Every structure is written in C-alpha cells, then in structure tokens.
Amino acid sequence: MLHEALTGMGFRTSTAAGGREGLIMAMHEPPDLVVCDCALPELSGLEMIEQLRRFSRCEQVPVIMLTSVGHMLKPLQLAGTGVRCILGKPCSMRELAAQILEVLGQPATDVVGNAVLERAA
C-alpha cells in the first residue's frame, strides 16, 4: 500500500520484506531516504539503521521512522541514527509525503489529500 501510494505521487521506491533485506538493498544501492517501520522482521528498524550507519556510503542517508510505539522511543535510542522524523501509525499519505519532501529539502508547494501537486525537481 505504501509503495503504491508513494509511486503514484511520483517517488521512485524500493521495498524490502524485512530489516535484513532492506539493509542489503541499501548497501548495494544507497537510497536518498529510508522510510521504515520500527517493528520489522529479522532486524528492527533501529537495528537496521544502526547497521546501515557502519557503511560510509550510507552514514548520511536520512531516515523517517514509522511506528505504532513512537511514544516508547527514547531520544538516546535515536542519537546518531539519522532518524529525522518519527511518524505514528497510522499516518496519512499527505503527512508522509510532506515529511519526505521536507527531509529531502524539496519544498511541497501544495500537498492535497494523497497527491503532491508540485515539488522541486
């Protein structure tokens, strides 16, 4: 669902079935941004990000964390992880798209419903 919504908004996405697969994918082709769930199979989102940071090509990749346990994440757990934003689940596609654009430094001039109408190239 997330993949289809973001692709429909013009984002190029890759998906992984779990933390280990996401880590391998990111190591082979560092992404511009990681959007991941805190609770992933095999490796948690935080464990995946901590391991990702060990690779120089990935140490600056920004992260948006989706979680239903966001209130349980402590600032010390996030220190040095590159997590720029934590969104509670469920979140709207509008909110996620706005955060993605903000983290990437691409201002959304108009985010309406589930569609990003204009964004910087």
Domain range annotation of the chain: 2-119
Q: Right CATH number for 2-119 from 3.40.50.2300, 3.30.460.80, 3.50.50.60, 3.40.30.10? A: 3.40.50.2300
Successive 10-residue mean pLDDT values, the chain, 121 residues: 81 88 91 88 87 88 82 64 82 87 75 40 34
The b-or-e profile of 5-40 (16+ CB within 10 A means b, else e) is bbeebebeeeebeebbbbbeebeeebbeebbbbbeb
pTM: 0.79
The reported pLDDT for the residue numbered 3 is 82
